[in-house]
Structure 1
Amino acid sequence: MGASGHIHSEHIGEALTNAARAALTDAGEQWTDLRADVFNALAVEENPLSAYDIADTLSAARGKRIAPNSVYRILDLFVRNNLANRIESANAYLVNRHPGCRHDCIFLICDQCGRALHLDDDKLTSGLRNAASDAGYEGISTIVELRGTCADCRAAA
């Protein structure tokens, strides 16, 4: 159970792709072959990927150049529709493994291996939202990034 008090459905594999397709089409958007390829490129990685990483991977797989601009547009669409999260400090993206749930984002990012762990703690982020609201801000989007060294990298050192 997440810190927000509800149970997440963490999707993997085909179930994740099906959940993403359903979320996007429910939002009135099309699930195209290129969008599916971009989503699947994100879904198989644990580390955040840049649009350039994805464009290179897809270009090699398809045997023709895929422009990073096209990938950026798709990633922006995915972020707007809760299919991916943007790691602001790295200008990179992670797939959202529970596209049906909307939360503010808290990321723990390893400075050594680059892995990013997504946490949900609505109690923490609601405090940030309340502070911003008290300061007169509206339409608040909360993305918290904490950087350090993960347990795996510390153990390998």
Structure 2
Amino acid sequence: MSCSAHPHVEHHGTALVTEARGVLTDAGEQWTDMRARVFDALANRDAPASAYDIAETLSASEGRRVAANSVYRILDLFVRTNLANRIESANAYLVNSHPGCRHDCIFLICDHCGKAEHVDDDRLTHSLREAADKAGFSDVRPVVELRGICAACK
């Protein structure tokens, strides 16, 4: 679903988990205990996390080793179903706080603290798609990453 025609709702806490579970099950997938734990670990991070970061967090909290490969598969599912976004340059993931809306990704990434913010600008990404179309490309998926210093680190 595209949200360019209406403002989307940013979900947090239990509302985010409820929305994510609904989006995943609507996509024909199951909301398993392991998927819930991975989602929770990702949602509770202040900065983007790698599969290894999430596996380490889960391993510590569960007292048993959680394989990064298992986490990767879940994170890939989350990206496919719009529950998370992948920051390409860092091979890291960020929870999508409005999983019911599909937008192209624009990330603002802080070079000091590593925090990333996902913003939506459908006009900008539409222009990128048009440029790609003129160059003969199809099925373009714009992912824009802007690096700089966040307001908290200034």
* TM-score normalised over the length of structure 1: 0.94
Partner of 1:25: 25
- The structural deviation recorded for 1:117 is 0.8
Partner of 1:52: 52
Superposed CA RMSD = 1.1
Deviation readout 1:115-140 (Å, 9 max, x if unpaired): 00110000000000010011111111
Partner SS, residue 31 of structure 1: coil
Q: CA–CA distance in 1 between the matches of 2:120 and 2:45?
A: 20
Q: CA–CA distance in 2 between the matches of 1:47 and 1:60?
A: 19
Q: CA–CA distance in 2 between the matches of 1:46 and 1:11?
A: 15
Partner SS, residue 36 of structure 1: helix
Partner of 1:124: 124
Q: CA–CA distance in 1 between the matches of 2:53 and 2:138?
A: 34
- The structural deviation recorded for 1:5 is 4.8
* TM-score normalised over the length of structure 2: 0.96
Partner SS, residue 146 of structure 2: strand
Partner of 1:91: 91
Q: CA–CA distance in 2 between the matches of 1:150 and 1:61?
A: 30
Alignment of 1:38 with 2:42, yes or no, is no
- The structural deviation recorded for 1:36 is 0.3
Q: CA–CA distance in 2 between the matches of 1:135 and 1:95?
A: 32
> Number of paired residues?
152
Partner SS, residue 132 of structure 1: helix
Deviation readout 1:48-103 (Å, 9 max, x if unpaired): 00100000000111111100000000000000000000011111000000000000
1:1-157 to 2 correspondences below 5 Å? 4-154=4-154
Long gaps (5+) in structure 1: none
Q: CA–CA distance in 1 between the matches of 2:118 and 2:30?
A: 27
Long gaps (5+) in structure 2: none
Q: CA–CA distance in 2 between the matches of 1:26 and 1:152?
A: 37
Deviant stretches of 4+, over 2 Å: none
% identical aligned pairs:
69
Q: CA–CA distance in 2 between the matches of 1:12 and 1:124?
A: 26
> Contact (CA 8 Å) 1:4, 1:123: kept in 2 or not?
no
